[in-house]
């Protein structure tokens, strides 16, 4: 009896030809944690017995993605070579399900709710269906009328958006993802919504439990006008969307004009339900909530829309679960994104990027991602409708930190900013060109006519538009190093196959598989214990070990020193200053360097980036307030042109005392004992960023 694990379509391939193409030596590339992760979670099994090896696994995925190609075998081998050499990795849903009987290959879904019960509970039901098939969810709730609004049908008053968010939260818990993990969703609300202050309290551990959503992420969808009002120390007016129905679909200068008209109407008594607050006070509450609970995340409405290639076909109302996807949503369209990431570290040669290899990898990767759209299973008609019409894909990058290590560049440097710029420009160049080449072969996407692509506007061209709409307040560099004329000529002739091509997702699990740093993240620590569903792993920074060995400094004492200093080299006297700079860890790098690198990438990307920021309260300069430093950080991100930010990782005050190191042998007070926030019993250390995987019940990543 057949086990019914694989699609019968795989039998249509010339299996002998594919078998000859397998390179079993590539199994030797895996580090221990990578191979254990593959074994535990990705290889297909029957009753616990694996029926795949890693190379069979990569070929199965490749065959699944090549199923509709005319030259199946050649394309499957091309896809296999890119995956098995670790140059590019598809997202976890694609790796799980390609070539199986249920090809649910997409990572995330975005939807908008309208202001009526039918729409609200349809969205909840859709969330349940999408969550069942392991999709991360981003829901836009701004249309729902605020607390105290009049309900015409019953002549009563609305309870606002909060009770419905509680229902959505509980649905995510009830309908777990394929029986593998609880549902993962993020709710978005615009900053002018009258319920925004209650929204900021959803993740608090105190208060009325009926108005708390402990299992759902939240994000603030902030218009530029609010940031300008904060800067000017002006007033801010909160409205119910039922009284200002068009605000939700407006952005840029048009939003600003209409918002001010509504403020005038409110002052004249034409709008009864509103509240005026000090913009700076509301901003302070936003930052305090973010600092205390990690939510709501700070995301920016206007750059997400003004720079969107699809501004002719709708409005971006929110991002996704991980804040990198920026696609239009409506009652008819649930946005879907299909993800994968290029391994930057695999494309360095002789101390620089190998442009020829990047071009080859990116061309193949875009083809793989485009194929996902036609093969994919869609849980709702709205999801299928959106993906088939616009064909967005999200190609990202990972191993940015690894690449810096190989180049011996500190993340906290202008050289890193320039590398972020140059590497993303090159990937953007070939991603857009590859999509245009696909359009020549397969045709442009259905809604191409009228898009920014059709109007001759590439991502780099939209920066000026943002500055015009915003009225300044933009510090984003606009330089380029490549000749974009061939790309522009190709688009003018053929169009593009995909409405969107790039988004940088977290990549936590797929980065673990190939043994590189996640996404664009800095190193968390140079020596730490990592726990996931595959077990507990001691992780050392191999690049640090290698460079210490080169200088004759790697010995048992160095291991003890690293343990004692929580994986930091900054306090180890015999480590040379240049290595200390290169091997700074996430909380030892000023967040402004992370933002500066992200800003340079953002100018080339047609969607967004999943950007975590790190904040060590112990590093706040004497005499400065924590809130002011945080405010400066996020204003820098806004003025640098970022579209979104993700988690704010903060340094916790305490940790258990070290048990494997004799602190008395050091003869001095440990760094943590000198901390202004620590007692003499415990060490301040960061809470580790979550190690995400599709099977991890706490996972909040797309890949």
Give the DSSP letter of residue 529: E
Element (H, E) at 461: none
CA distance 340 to 91: 5
CA distance 552 to 7: 54
Give the DSSP letter of residue 656: P
The answer to whether the CB of 73 falls within 8 A of the CB of 552 is: no
Which of 186, 199, 203, 256 minimizes the C-alpha distance to 227? 256
CA distance 573 to 576: 8
The answer to whether the CB of 111 falls within 8 A of the CB of 381 is: no
Which of 34, 89, 35 minimizes the C-alpha distance to 62? 89
Is 687 an active-site residue?
Answer: no
Q: Distance between alpha carbon 45 and the CA centroid of its chain, in Å? A: 30
CA dihedral 656, 661, 663, 666 (to 10 degrees): -140
Residue in 186, 322, 692, 702 annotated catalytic: 322
Largest CA-CA distance found in the chain, in angstroms, rounded: 80
Torsion sign over Cα 651, 654, 655, 659: positive
CA distance 141 to 161: 7
Which of 473, 351, 338 minimizes the C-alpha distance to 404? 351
Beta strand 217-222 pairing with 185-190 = parallel
CA distance 190 to 274: 15
CA distance 22 to 42: 18
Token pair 């995330």: residue:
108
* Cis status of the peptide bond prior to 296, with omega within 30 of 0: yes
Exposed e or buried b per residue across 670-680, where buried means at least 16 C-beta atoms within 10 angstroms of its C-beta = bbbeebeebee
Residue in 81, 143, 305, 320 annotated catalytic: 320
The answer to whether the CB of 421 falls within 8 A of the CB of 428 is: no
Residue in 78, 201, 263, 324 annotated catalytic: 324
The answer to whether the CB of 321 falls within 8 A of the CB of 185 is: yes
CA distance 188 to 222: 10
The token duo for 267 is 């002052």
CA distance 224 to 645: 15
CA distances from 282 to 110, 218, 539, 637 (A): 27, 16, 41, 18
DSSP codes joined into one string, 185-239? EEEEEETTBTTHHHHTTTT-SSS-GGG--TTSEEEEEE-HHHHHHHHTT-EEEEE
Which of 533, 570, 477 minimizes the C-alpha distance to 181? 533
Which of 458, 439, 425 minimizes the C-alpha distance to 498? 439
Give the DSSP letter of residue 571: T
Is 512 an active-site residue?
Answer: no
CA distance 406 to 422: 16
Is 324 an active-site residue?
Answer: yes
Which of 185, 98, 91, 138 minimizes the C-alpha distance to 703? 91
Q: Which residues are the active-site residues?
A: 320, 322, 324
């Amino acid at each position: 009896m057949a086990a019914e694990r694989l699609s019968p379509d795989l039998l249509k391939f010339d299996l002998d030809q594919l078998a000859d193409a397998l390179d079993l030596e590539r199994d030797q590339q895996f580090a221990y944690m990578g191979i254990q992760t593959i074994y535990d979670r990705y290889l297909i099994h029957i009753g616990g017995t694996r029926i795949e090896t890693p190379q069979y696994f990569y070929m199965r995925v490749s065959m699944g993605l090549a199923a509709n190609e005319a030259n199946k075998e050649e394309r499957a081998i091309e896809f296999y070579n890119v995956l098995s050499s670790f140059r590019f990795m598809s997202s976890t849903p694609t790796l799980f399900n390609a070539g199986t009987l249920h090809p649910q290959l997409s990572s995330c879904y975005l939807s908008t709710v309208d202001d009526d019960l039918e729409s609200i509970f349809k969205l909840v039901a859709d969330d349940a269906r999408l969550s069942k098939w392991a999709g991360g969810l981003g829901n836009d709730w701004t249309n729902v009328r605020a607390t105290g609004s009049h309900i015409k049908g019953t002549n009563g008053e609305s309870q606002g958006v909060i009770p419905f968010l509680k229902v959505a939260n509980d649905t995510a818990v009830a309908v777990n993802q394929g029986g593998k993990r609880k549902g993962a969703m993020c709710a978005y609300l615009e900053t002018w919504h009258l319920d925004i202050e209650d929204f900021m309290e959803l993740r608090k551990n105190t208060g009325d439990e009926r108005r708390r959503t402990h299992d759902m992420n939240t994000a603030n969808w902030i218009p530029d006008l609010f940031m300008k009002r904060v800067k000017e120390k002006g007033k801010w007016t909160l409205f119910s969307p039922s009284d200002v129905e068009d605000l939700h679909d407006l952005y840029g200068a048009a939003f600003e004009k209409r918002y001010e008209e509504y403020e005038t109407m409110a002052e004249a008594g034409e709008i009864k339900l509103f509240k005026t607050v000090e913009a700076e006070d509301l901003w302070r509450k936003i930052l305090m909530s973010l600092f205390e609970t990690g939510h709501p995340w700070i995301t920016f409405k206007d750059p997400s829309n003004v720079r969107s290639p699809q501004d002719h076909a709708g409005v971006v109302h929110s991002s996704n679960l991980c804040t990198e996807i920026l696609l239009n949503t409506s009652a008819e369209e649930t946005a879907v994104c299909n993800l994968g990431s290029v391994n930057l570290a695999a494309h360095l040669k002789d101390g620089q990027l190998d442009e020829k290899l990047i071009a080859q990898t990116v061309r193949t990767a875009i083809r793989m991602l485009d194929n996902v759209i036609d093969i994919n299973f869609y849980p709702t008609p709205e999801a299928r409708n959106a993906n088939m019409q616009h064909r967005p894909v999200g190609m990202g990058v990972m191993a940015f930190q690894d690449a810096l290590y190989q180049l011996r560049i500190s993340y906290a440097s202008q050289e890193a900013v320039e590398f972020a710029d140059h590497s993303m420009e090159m990937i953007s160049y070939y991603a857009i060109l590859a999509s245009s080449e696909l359009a020549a072969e397969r045709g442009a996407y259905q809604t191409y006519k009228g898009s920014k692509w059709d109007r001759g506007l590439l991502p780099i061209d939209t920066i000026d538009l943002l500055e015009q709409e915003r009225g300044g307040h933009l510090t984003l560099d606009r330089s380029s190093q490549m000749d974009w004329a061939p790309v522009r000529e190709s688009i003018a002739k053929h169009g593009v196959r995909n409405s969107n091509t790039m988004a940088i997702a977290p990549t936590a699990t797929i980065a673990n598989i190939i043994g590189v740093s996640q996404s664009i993240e800095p190193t968390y620590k140079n020596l730490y214990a990592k726990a996931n569903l595959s077990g507990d792993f001691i992780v050392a920074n191999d690049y640090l070990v290698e460079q210490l060995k080169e200088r004759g400094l790697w010995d048992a004492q160095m291991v003890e020193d690293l343990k004692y200093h929580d994986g930091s080299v900054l306090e180890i006297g015999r480590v040379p200053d240049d290595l200390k700079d290169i091997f700074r860890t996430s909380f030892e790098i000023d967040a402004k360097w992370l933002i500066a690198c992200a800003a340079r990438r953002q100018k080339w990307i047609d969607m967004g980036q999943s950007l975590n920021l790190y904040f060590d309260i112990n590093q706040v300069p004497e005499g400065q307030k924590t809130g002011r430093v945080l405010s400066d950080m996020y204003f820098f991100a806004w003025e640098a042109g970022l579209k979104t930010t993700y988690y704010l990782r903060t340094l916790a005050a305490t940790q258990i005392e070290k048990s494997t190191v004799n602190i008395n042998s050091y003869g001095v007070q440990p760094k943590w004992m000198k901390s202004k926030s620590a007692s003499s019993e415990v060490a301040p250390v960061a809470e580790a960023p979550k190690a995400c995987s599709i099977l991890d019940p706490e996972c909040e990543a797309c890949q």
